[in-house]
């Protein structure tokens, strides 16, 4: 199943997208959020009948999960991206946090921060947690705690992240609008194998990234298990699983400027299109 949130910022309504049609879920839940996932909301939608069909033409599409408790991110989880960043592949997952208020919709504007000269794109597969995960016994247990997957763009400001960071990356990751998500939250059963997805990005129509999640150093199940050893993952939390090679940090492409258009796409999870403007 594919879940969406449609409407003005702060007033989105929950929607099911199925077979090219849109259905209002307001009778079942106020929102697509941690509470919905924790209360077996996906099952209730599966069992629902006579959901009202709606026309969403011309309406804003919001992030498919309401403001998560945390946005956890994994750095340098593709060997080629680590190399283009000037680093050796990590032997343990690199983890950092992104402020939850960075989350925006898949077609919203993205703001270039004041003083920025190195705003960059990162297409990523994001995990949405469906059940609490605390000290999971093994990676084999992890997939059962995943509600689904979301297309993510982990927008970054490299000087903020690296030059003036003091060693922590979140300063370059937590600028407003730096976390486009969506258009859909796709349930895990519909996605299938999360390690067999093509992910791509473009800037102004020109290709940038083109890779597969099979190239991850640490796969999705391992990451969820690993994180559960250090923090409690709760329903609605978002985990960015890393980006492949092909970002501006590599030196092969220019950084983003106002008026540029970023597009990212993952098989089965949709496509985003965000225009950049100055904050």
Of the candidates 127, 138, 93, the one whose C-alpha atom is nearest the C-alpha of residue 197 is 127
Paired tokens of 192: 């299938």
Residue 44 DSSP label: H
- Measure CA 237 to chain center: 11
Instruction: Please state, in angstroms and rounded to a whole number, the distance separating the CA atoms of residues 243 and 27.
Output: 37
- The dihedral region occupied by 203, where left means phi > 0, alpha psi between -120 and 50, and beta the remainder, is beta
- Whether pTM > 0.85 for this model: the answer is yes
Q: What is the pLDDT of residue 82?
A: 82
Specify whether the CB–CB gap between 270 and 259 falls below 8 A. Answer: no
Beta bridge partners, 156, equal 120
Paired tokens of 218: 């640490």
Q: Provide the CB-side half-sphere exposure for 119 (13 A, CA).
A: 28
Which residues of the chain, if any, have pLDDT below 50? Answer: none
pLDDT tens digit sequence for 42-97: 999 999 999 999 999 999 999 999 989 999 999 999 988 888 878 888 999 999 99
Q: What is the pLDDT of residue 33?
A: 98
Of the candidates 198, 278, 279, the one whose C-alpha atom is nearest the C-alpha of residue 246 is 198
Residues in the chain: 279
From residue 7, alpha-carbon distances to 11, 105, 161, 179 in Å are 6, 10, 33, 18
Q: What is the pLDDT of residue 191?
A: 97
What three-state secondary structure class fits 122?
Answer: coil
Whether the upstream peptide bond of residue 219 has omega within 30° of 0, thus cis, is no
From residue 14, alpha-carbon distances to 4, 41, 112, 213, 223 in Å are 6, 12, 29, 29, 29
Paired tokens of 15: 């929607």
> In degrees rounded to 5, what are phi and psi of residue 205?
85, -5
């Amino acid at each position: 199943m594919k879940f969406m949130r449609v409407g003005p910022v702060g007033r989105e309504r929950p929607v099911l997208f199925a077979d090219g049609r849109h259905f209002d879920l307001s009778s079942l839940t106020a929102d697509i959020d941690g509470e919905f996932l924790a209360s077996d909301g996906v099952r209730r939608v599966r069992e629902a009948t006579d959901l009202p069909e709606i026309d969403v033409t011309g309406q804003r599409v919001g992030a498919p999960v309401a403001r998560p408790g945390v946005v956890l991110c994994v750095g340098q989880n593709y060997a080629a991206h680590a190399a283009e960043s000037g680093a050796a592949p990590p032997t343990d997952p690199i983890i950092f946090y992104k402020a939850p208020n960075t989350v925006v919709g898949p077609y919203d504007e993205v703001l270039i921060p004041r003083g920025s000269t190195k705003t960059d794109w990162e297409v990523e597969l994001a995990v949405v947690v469906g059940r609490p995960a605390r000290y999971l016994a093994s990676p084999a247990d992890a997939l059962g705690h995943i509600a689904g997957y979301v297309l993510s763009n982990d927008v970054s400001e490299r000087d903020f992240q690296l030059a003036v960071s003091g060693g922590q990356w979140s300063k370059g990751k937590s600028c407003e609008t730096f976390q486009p998500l969506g258009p859909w939250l796709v349930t895990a059963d519909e996605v299938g194998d999360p390690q067999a997805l093509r992910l791509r990005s473009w800037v102004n129509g020109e290709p940038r990234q083109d890779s597969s999640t099979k190239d991850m150093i640490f796969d999705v199940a391992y990451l969820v298990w690993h994180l559960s050893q250090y923090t409690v993952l709760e329903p609605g939390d978002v985990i960015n699983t890393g980006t492949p090679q092909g970002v501006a940090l590599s030196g092969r492409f220019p950084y983003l400027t106002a008026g540029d258009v970023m597009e990212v796409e993952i098989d089965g999870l949709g496509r985003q299109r965000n225009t950049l403007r100055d904050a």
